[in-house]
Amino acid sequence: MSPETLAVVMFFTLFVGLLLGHPLAFTLGLLGVVFGVIGWGGSIDAVLALLANRAYGVMEEYVLVAVPLFIMMAQVLDASGIAERLFETMHIVMGRLRGGLGIAVIIACTIFSATAGVVGATVVSIGLLAIPALMRAGYNIPLIAGCITAGGTLGILIPPSIMLVVYGSLSQISVGWLYAAAFGPGFLLSALYIAYIVVVCLIKPEYGPAETSGAHSGAEKAAMFAKSIVPPIILVLIVLGSIVAGIATPTEAAGMGVLGAVIMTIGYGKFSWKMMKDACWSTTITTSMIMTLFLGGNAFQAVFMGLGGGDAISNFMLGLNLSPIALLFVMMAIVFFLGCFLDWLGILLIVIPIFTPVSQELGFNGLWFATLICVNLQMAFLTPPFGYSIFYLKGIAPPEITIYHIYKGIIPFVILQWIGLILCIFIPEIILWAPARFFGPSVLG
Residue 374's Cβ-count burial label (10 Å; 0-12, 13-18, 19+) is buried
Q: How far is CA 69 from the centre of its chain?
A: 16
Q: How many Å apart are CA 273 and CA 79, to the nearest integer?
A: 12
pLDDT score of 424: 97
- The pLDDT assigned to 330 comes to 94
DSSP SS3 for 299: helix
Q: How many residues in total does the chain contain?
A: 445
Residue 146 pLDDT: 94
- pLDDT (0 to 100) of residue 323: 92
Domain boundaries, the chain: 65-271+384-444
DSSP annotation of 401 reads S
Nearest C-alpha neighbor of 260 from the set 242, 283, 281: 242
pLDDT score of 277: 93
For 445, the 3-state DSSP assignment is: coil
**Amino acid at the residue 442:** S
User: Residue 160, preceding bond cis, omega within 30 degrees?
Assistant: yes
In order along its 445 residues, the chain shows pLDDT tens digits of 677 788 878 888 887 887 787 887 888 888 888 888 888 766 788 788 878 887 887 777 777 888 888 888 888 887 887 777 777 887 777 767 888 889 989 998 888 888 777 787 788 888 888 898 889 889 999 999 999 999 989 988 988 888 998 899 888 898 899 999 999 999 999 999 999 999 999 999 999 888 765 566 667 767 777 777 788 888 888 888 888 777 888 889 889 989 998 998 998 888 899 999 998 998 899 888 888 888 888 888 888 888 887 778 888 888 888 899 999 999 999 999 888 877 788 888 888 888 998 999 999 999 999 999 999 998 988 987 778 888 888 888 888 999 899 999 999 999 999 999 999 999 999 999 999 988 888 777 6
Residue 235: per-residue pLDDT = 87
Asked whether the beta carbons of 377 and 156 are under 8 A apart, the reply is: yes
pLDDT value at position 1? 64
Q: What is the pLDDT of residue 342?
A: 78
